[in-house]
Chains A and B, each alone.
Chain A
């Protein structure tokens, strides 16, 4: 039985072609990952055009640094980190506009997990985008990307406590949005 080529190997071949200077491979690589990467950008950016800027800058960085990719692990993960870092850079440029403050203890909203499970991803995305930049950035880094608070603090140049409080506040706001949406849905269903 012939051994099938895995997606990772296909990605590696694509990257190798890009390194050799193939513009068609660059285009192919872009088309393969631009959907997911743009979603990341949208979660971090304050508006659509900023998301496009992050996407463009991120891909340009990736293409220019393809030779640094060690072909260890997922290329998507490598590309994802570049995009996230680019988003953080954009965030840093605007940090004075959106200062991240310690918000102290936050009351906890009780939200049924099943309610969240039944929400469409696009709806969750909209809720995340309603968060202020500081909350949104910490939430994305911690919840979606999986960065620990220590690293987030370093990336955003804030304290770990601030990162935690921002995350707590983000959760609180999101749960509130879910609860409100759930109530509205029930009223509407009646």
Chain B
């Protein structure tokens, strides 16, 4: 009876329990799958392990190098004393857009720390306002960076310190780069406004020009090119400020200068306009070949040679530059001496004779210009390709050359016309003065003879071929 009851109860319990379903958590399958080591997951695990190992190797390597460079830097005190190196590296650190490895950043940080601790007496006490602003901002950035690195070093666990540090440094570097530019812009603007004693950049337009020039000069100071150009070119408000500062900005734009050239022009205060009127005084030295078709016609003459002889001239010049590319110039050249020596054998004797011509030259020249800023003087340099026509009037004539070589009648032509080609190089010294030096080549002939030649006739007049070097001091209005 008991067995029967037990069997019945067992059956009930069996039916109740046997097909009961209780679902396990999803992680159980993951555990089973990992224990099974499915073919799909096995290589993935290998790659993961290899990747993690490589990452750790690189990270610890970078960390080791980081500390190694840090300790090496302690032995290199002279690095800190080189302010230019510091500035170079920091300019690169801030403005180099290309991502750099952490290895390159570390020496910058360390050098900076040393610089802060022991500034060198070689630094000029007459730091310009711009330099001081930049240095202050850079030092602040450096100290922030150093603090951040120390924080990370302390907080990071040993096994992931290098990874965290690399990531954090990159983040800090990017932030610094962005913040630094914005900060620098604000500082410069604030400095300008403070110096001009106005509140808004627009108010600068009401300040007299002399004051503005003084402010700009103070800001310019001894700042090196990289700060004046690279940083200022990155400032979005530069154009606004410069427009307010200098009413000639539109003129410069009209003249075709690039943005950078305009910035350089105004900030350097060395060249306010590249177009307009200029006058100058010029002097030159030349060598002339007096060419005569009738020379050496006598049988008694042998071995006639042209011997180099020099002449000089001086005069004034008046020019007008239409813009960056084109200009015209007229010269009035007085006392233009052109001399030519001839050597020849006559009656079995070597004889040397000379022709001296004195002219007034009036060349009318067209100039095609190629302009850039000098990296040394930060002032414009202009290369002029010169070509034009020249009128020449003979003032005097002296010749002791044998009539069989150069007849006096062939030299006696009063009005000449010629063509001129040459190169001039203008170097601007101040806002208004610039020095020019160049080379000219002129080929001229008698005006009446040229008219006859054009009409199909012949000429027995001499032609003058002159090559010379010129120099001029000019004033631009």
Contact = CB atoms under 8 A, between A and B. Distances in A.
A26 interface: yes
A108 interface: yes
A12 interface: no
A86 B38 CA distance: 22
Given A38-B22, A124-B17, A171 B32 contact: no
B9 A116 contact: yes
Interface in A4-19: none
Given A21-B39, A23-B33, A43 B28 contact: no
Contacts of B21: 35-36, 38-39
A116 B12 contact: yes
Contact of B16 (A31, A60, A111, A121): A121
Contacts of B22: 35, 38-39, 42
Contact of A171 (B9, B14, B18, B20): B9
Contacts of B35: 56, 60
Contacts of A171: 6, 9
B32 to A, nearest CB: 5
A124 B40 contact: no
Contacts of A31: 29
A64 B33 CA distance: 12
Nearest to A117: B12
Contact of A52 (B6, B13, B24): B24
A67 B268 CA distance: 89
B23 A38 contact: yes
A87 interface: no
A82 B182 CA distance: 71
Given A108-B2, A113-B9, A56 B17 contact: no
Contacts, number: 85
A144 B23 contact: no
B403 interface: no
Interface in A121-150: 121-122, 124-125, 128, 142-144, 146
A36 B19 contact: yes
Given A63-B36, A116-B12, A36 B20 contact: yes
A55 B14 contact: no
A23 B38 contact: yes
Chain A binding surface SS class: helix
A59 interface: yes
Contact of B28 (A36, A42, A55, A113): A55
Contacts of B6: 171
B10 interface: yes
B332 to A, nearest CB: 99
A181 interface: no
Nearest to A128: B17
Which of B8, B25, B32 has most A Cβ within 10 Å?
B32
A26 B38 CA distance: 10
Contacts of A69: none
Contacts of A55: 24, 28
Contact of A56 (B9, B20, B28): B28
A46 to B, nearest CB: 16
A30 B35 CA distance: 14
A186 interface: no
Interface of B: 2, 5-6, 8-10, 12-14, 16-25, 28-29, 31-33, 35-36, 38-40
Interface of A: 21, 23, 26-27, 30-31, 34-36, 38-39, 42-43, 51-52, 55-56, 59-60, 63-64, 108, 111, 113, 116-117, 119, 121-122, 124-125, 128, 142-144, 146, 171, 174-175
14 contacts: A26-B33, A27-B33, A30-B29, A30-B32, A31-B29, A34-B23, A36-B20, A38-B24, A39-B17, A43-B17, A63-B32, A108-B2, A113-B5, A124-B16
Given A35-B22, A36-B20, A64-B36, 14 more contacts: A34-B23, A36-B21, A39-B17, A39-B20, A42-B22, A60-B32, A60-B35, A63-B32, A116-B9, A116-B13, A125-B17, A144-B14, A144-B18, A174-B13
